[in-house]
Structure 1
Amino acid sequence: MGKKRPHIVIFNPDQMRTDALGHMGENPGAVTPFLDRFAAQDAVSYRYAFCQNPVCTPSRCSFFTGLYPHVHGHRTMRYMLHRHESSLLSELKNAGYYVWMNTRNDLLAGQDEELFAMHASEIFYGGDVLPAPGPVNPDLRGKPGSKYFYSHYKGELKTDERGLNYSPDDEAVDAAVARLKNPVNEKPMCIFLGLIFPHPPYRVEEPYYSLIDRRKVKPRIPEAVPEDGKPLFHRKIRENQQLQDFTEEDWRELRAVYYGMCAKVDAQFERLCRGLKEAGIYDDTAIFFLSDHGDYTGDYGIVEKAQNMMEDCLTRVPFLIKPPKDFRVDAGISDELVELVDFYATAMAMAGVKPDHTHFGKDLSENLRDRKMPVREFVCCEGGRNAEEIHCDEYHDDAKEPDIMGEYYPRQKLQTDPVAHGKATMIRTKEYKYVRRIYEEDEFYDLNAGCETTCTHEHTAERNANECFTKDAQERKNRIHEPEYQTEISVLKEKLLDWYQKTCDVVPFEKDDRHSAEMIRQAVKHICPPEHWAEVEDMIRNRQGNLFEIRRYCEGLAAGMAQKE
């Protein structure tokens, strides 16, 4: 009997930033006590984990396949996996896993009703509980022109008579726990739990609403100024979102609510792990906690996300791994650079399942055993569209203008601008970040350099101006034209070119025949002795050899017959 395969649990919050994790020590306002203990005792938490696309669907299509978005064109919210594409879920299912998933999808093409059954044994649809109560202040958004109108800020949510705001996320978490406690069969389980939180709108109930100390929340990155050399998107999205009347107190409140949403995610994850322990399978389970991408949350005066922007607040995400008990783990924070495609490689390795396609993920097992083991020299992320790819925006599918009353109008309208929405690709090391842009000037940031001594950045009492002289982790100063960085820029350009060449396509494992059965039949019909034709016909029909092999076989038969004569 072979080694027992571990259960696999994938806990996937949507749009969660790395600085929402308290144990990273980057944000005094972050409250994630369970994830902090989880990282300290049982798991490795990656400080420098990066997604491969800064929006939902392309990121999920990437980390569930181990492929970069450019390989099969998964760069939009409306192009998902199709029948010819496998995923971690379908591969585990084919290898004997019982795969459970909820309907926070953003992965599989919804128009194909049979596709879900190829990737999952059971799908939890939910919707069996009453809708959770709405905001305490339902009229907060106001009318067009209000400072809240495009802010996505909803604030405090109401609670029901039980003191709960029981959301679809809560229902899915409890359903996953119930399935873990009551398995359908003896198969190892794979649970994919995709959450809505902390995706905007920014809203959360008590006790999480008041849990975040507004005074401790990490100050936001100020708006870019022309001297910063940031892309057109920054100016255009601020014009569209119309948040110029937000005060620093307003921004702190919005950010506190976002981090409160992350605190609720922490509590939901604790509930799942507690369920695993109550089911007696926590030790036998490999647990992966990862977000698909981050969120601006007021940084640079912007809310939500963007398809082609590459700041760390969007591309750097929580990624924690707990192996099963028979795997020695060096628990704590790893400072190695990793990508979310590494999730695919690591989960497949832990499950003992051989991938059915080429992929670009790295198995993190060695780093999980020793956090000092090197993983990647650099990480990459990509997004945006070519000018002619108007179908890549989210509203031209319906041949109409975006709805000005919709909260996503500012971003969706901007997607119709081919420059602001143009293709971009990031390559990042620990020290530097280079972004190649197809229609605008490229970007280059020295993440360890200080700003100029004539720094014009707005500093508050909470943000010490001396920060500017220690590092540019805020990515405020685009140094693409500064002479002293041209060597580093050239090196990253060369590495980016190598990366694209190595990953630009994949050859399927299946090999095609150059000749059809009829081609082979016609080529050998006058060579094969008639008394052996039935045998050769079976070989042709069952593909027991190619044209050249069957021809040689027939020639051998003919030679043997000639010798007998």
Structure 2
Amino acid sequence: MGKEFMEKRKNILLFIADQLRADSLGCMGNTEAATPNYDALSEEGILFENAFCQSPICVPSRCSFNTGWYPHTNGHRTIHYFLEKEDPSMMKSLKKNGYHVYLMGKSHYFDRQDEAEMAATCDLEYIGCEMSTNAIHRIGQSVSKEEISANPYYYSFYFGEMSKEAAAKTQDDLVIERTLAMIQNHELKEPFCLYVSLNLPHPPYEVEEPWFSMINRTSIKIQTQPIEHLKDKPSILYRIRENQNLTKLTEKDFQEIKATYYGMIAKLDHQLGRVLGALKEQGYYEDTHILAFADHGDFTGDYGLVEKTQNTFEDCLVHIPCIIRPAQGTPFQPRTSSSLVELNDLPQTVAELLHYELDYTQFGKSLTALFENEMELHEYVLSEGGRIQGEKQAMEGYTGKASIYWPRLEAQTRMPEHSKAFMVRSDQYKYVYRLFEKDEFYDLTADPWEEKNVVDDQRYRLEIAKMKDWLLKKLIETTDNVPMKTMLPGRTYGEE
């Protein structure tokens, strides 16, 4: 980016969804979706159709895209391990470089209780409320084993239609109303970073009208077989399927779950449209870089499963939407890019867009290289999760059976189910190295739903060997970082 575009410092909007699959948007080819605002934004900017997160669960992914690190770089492999005080982040970098940062909604990556961390991260935080009204996840409820067994929907995360009164009290609705008020009342000091992070469409699967009935149930397709019909998949999938006890659900039931999920996405799209509309009305839109993406995906009935896992990497979990509409004056060509990109490319991208340098070692690459021309930014993308033997702090904790999270949390107490694993993915192949159980390899051209693990097929041995070599090199390059504070004052360090 040249100095000719630096007369006025641009603003930036980060609009972040939680658990949003790439294939659930119209602009990504979904004909059942109702996402006109995402679709319009993709036509106005750059749609990165091959974007992947670095972890299939919230905190590790958010730590990664806020730092440019991989989860293994500093041990961020569990929802309980936020960034340390001395760790960098995208918001801290923005603050250091003169930006006013407004953190709206779910951050889920740093210690909000630490006053110094809060001051270094943002000018203002507004979370609305900690949990959605209906999304109490049945924690602490007294439910008998008989009641759970008798209810085939109990672990399905399906709550159905939410009342409008309850919806108005959810965290997302409160956050959006406050965000709109700040824009409309010109409370934002420029240059600003508006970080709007919503829960939608994170399960439980529930939404109010008109979105609940917006999706045609009969048009929904369930693309995959139940996991018990497939061979050589990760053992945690079979365990969760058994624990969730969803075998009595019919295809129609899973259509209902997926339709409700799409309804939640339709509401998310509506909220995106309201924020963009307010920026336009108040004259901020043209001078604001807009980045819309998600932290990870969701099973939503695929393989007969719901929600997510901590250590499997089906595309429904790790392939996420990513759209960038650069501010005026930034050279770019509205287009769809098919290049492989990673979420941890965002810190370097934001630094490039806003003309500052990152003052720490990170591993992302700027997506601005793809703004006008197609090129290979990454040969492969990486995602990871799981744990080693005895690593109890990575299990997320064990709860009673009354919690709808029990099926996954219980599976994470077992080995090899919770085996540490790394995914290496190209545009055609996916290889997963598993520490304590059988590896995986999928030919995505022949098997886009990853139902046939062909890791033992000798026809792919050279490609598997190549991906293993790449993984080894990648881990050596990114396995840690030397903090900048170790550089001694008064010394001169050479340039490479």
Partners of 1:22 and 1:275 in 2: CA distance: 23
How has the CA–CA distance of structure 1 residues 227 and 170 changed in structure 2, closer, same or farther, with 3 Å as cutoff? Answer: closer
Equivalent runs, 1:389-538 vs 2, <5 Å: 389-395=391-397, 401-449=398-446, 472-513=447-488
Is the 1:338–1:376 contact (alpha carbons within 8 Å) kept by the matching residues of 2? Answer: yes
Q: Which residue of 2 aligns with 1:69?
A: 71
Partners of 2:207 and 2:272 in 1: CA distance: 16
Cα deviation, 1:329-354, whole Å, max 9, x if unaligned, reads 32232211100011221111111121
Amino acid at match of 2:59: T
Deviation at 1:317, TM superposition (A): 0.4
- Corresponding position: 1:176 with 2:179: yes
Partners of 1:420 and 1:133 in 2: CA distance: 31
Cα deviation, 1:341-395, whole Å, max 9, x if unaligned, reads 112211111111211111111111131223x233211101000111120121122
Cα deviation, 1:507-526, whole Å, max 9, x if unaligned, reads 2233445xxxxxxxxxxxxx
Q: Which residue of 1 aligns with 2:225?
A: 222
Q: Which residue of 1 aligns with 2:285?
A: 282
How has the CA–CA distance of structure 1 residues 284 and 436 changed in structure 2, closer, same or farther, with 3 Å as cutoff? Answer: same
Q: Which residue of 2 aligns with 1:455?
A: none
Equivalent runs, 1:146-157 vs 2, <5 Å: 146-157=151-162
Partners of 2:216 and 2:33 in 1: CA distance: 9
Q: Which residue of 2 aligns with 1:398?
A: none
- Corresponding position: 1:8 with 2:12: yes
- Corresponding position: 1:254 with 2:257: yes
Partners of 1:305 and 1:121 in 2: CA distance: 33
- Corresponding position: 1:22 with 2:26: yes
Question: Structure 2: where are the runs of 5+ without partners?
Answer: none
Is the 1:133–1:165 contact (alpha carbons within 8 Å) kept by the matching residues of 2? Answer: no
Greater RCO (CA < 8 Å, at least 6 residues apart): 2
Cα deviation, 1:471-490, whole Å, max 9, x if unaligned, reads x0000000011111111111
Cα deviation, 1:500-539, whole Å, max 9, x if unaligned, reads 11111222233445xxxxxxxxxxxxxxxxxxxxxxxxxx
Among 74, 79, 82, which residue is 1:80 paired with?
82
Is the 1:237–1:414 contact (alpha carbons within 8 Å) kept by the matching residues of 2? Answer: yes
Q: Which residue of 2 aligns with 1:520?
A: none
Is the 2:135–2:204 contact (alpha carbons within 8 Å) kept by the matching residues of 1? Answer: no
Question: Structure 1: where are the runs of 5+ without partners?
Answer: 396-400, 450-471, 514-542, 547-565
Partners of 1:344 and 1:242 in 2: CA distance: 41
Partners of 2:317 and 2:83 in 1: CA distance: 23
Deviation at 1:235, TM superposition (A): 1.1
Partners of 1:505 and 1:46 in 2: CA distance: 28
Deviation at 1:544, TM superposition (A): 5.7
Partners of 2:490 and 2:316 in 1: CA distance: 55
How has the CA–CA distance of structure 1 residues 444 and 197 changed in structure 2, closer, same or farther, with 3 Å as cutoff? Answer: same
Q: Which residue of 1 aligns with 2:239?
A: 236
Partners of 1:439 and 1:342 in 2: CA distance: 30
Cα deviation, 1:36-57, whole Å, max 9, x if unaligned, reads 11111x2111111000000000
Partners of 2:135 and 2:263 in 1: CA distance: 16
Q: Which residue of 2 aligns with 1:526?
A: none
Q: Which residue of 2 aligns with 1:306?
A: 309
- Corresponding position: 1:121 with 2:123: yes
Among 246, 263, 266, which residue is 1:263 paired with?
266
Cα deviation, 1:205-260, whole Å, max 9, x if unaligned, reads 11111111112223231113465211111210111000000000000000000011
Amino acid at match of 2:463: E
Deviation at 1:166, TM superposition (A): 5.3
Partners of 1:132 and 1:238 in 2: CA distance: 27
Is the 1:62–1:341 contact (alpha carbons within 8 Å) kept by the matching residues of 2? Answer: yes
Partners of 2:491 and 2:72 in 1: CA distance: 36
Amino acid at match of 1:53: S
Partners of 1:186 and 1:12 in 2: CA distance: 21
- Corresponding position: 1:319 with 2:322: yes
Deviation at 1:168, TM superposition (A): 1.8
- Indicate the SS of the match to 2:147: coil
Is the 1:28–1:218 contact (alpha carbons within 8 Å) kept by the matching residues of 2? Answer: no
Amino acid at match of 2:159: K
Deviation at 1:186, TM superposition (A): 4.7
Decide which moves more: 1-10 or 300-309.
Answer: 1-10
Amino acid at match of 1:222: Q
Partners of 2:411 and 2:287 in 1: CA distance: 47
- Indicate the SS of the match to 2:161: strand
Is the 2:105–2:171 contact (alpha carbons within 8 Å) kept by the matching residues of 1? Answer: no
Cα deviation, 1:13-46, whole Å, max 9, x if unaligned, reads 1000001111111x32111011111111x21111
Q: Which residue of 2 aligns with 1:335?
A: 338
- Indicate the SS of the match to 1:70: helix
Q: Which residue of 1 aligns with 2:378?
A: 376
- Indicate the SS of the match to 2:338: strand
Is the 2:227–2:241 contact (alpha carbons within 8 Å) kept by the matching residues of 1? Answer: no
Q: Which residue of 2 aligns with 1:361?
A: 364
Q: Which residue of 2 aligns with 1:351?
A: 354
How has the CA–CA distance of structure 1 residues 90 and 78 changed in structure 2, closer, same or farther, with 3 Å as cutoff? Answer: same
- Indicate the SS of the match to 2:432: strand
Equivalent runs, 1:90-109 vs 2, <5 Å: 90-109=92-111
- Indicate the SS of the match to 1:244: coil
- Indicate the SS of the match to 1:435: strand
Amino acid at match of 1:12: I
Q: Which residue of 2 aligns with 1:517?
A: none
Give the CA RMSD over aligned residues: 2.3
Partners of 2:16 and 2:188 in 1: CA distance: 25
Cα deviation, 1:124-181, whole Å, max 9, x if unaligned, reads 13259x986899xxx9x99311111111000111124xx9745321221222222233
- Corresponding position: 1:44 with 2:46: yes
Amino acid at match of 1:474: W
How has the CA–CA distance of structure 1 residues 177 and 236 changed in structure 2, closer, same or farther, with 3 Å as cutoff? Answer: same
Decide which moves more: 258-267 or 184-193.
Answer: 184-193
Q: Which residue of 2 aligns with 1:55?
A: 57
- Indicate the SS of the match to 1:382: strand
- Corresponding position: 1:386 with 2:388: yes
How has the CA–CA distance of structure 1 residues 185 and 434 changed in structure 2, closer, same or farther, with 3 Å as cutoff? Answer: closer
Pick the structure with greater CA Rg: 1
- Indicate the SS of the match to 2:254: helix
Equivalent runs, 1:194-205 vs 2, <5 Å: 194-205=197-208
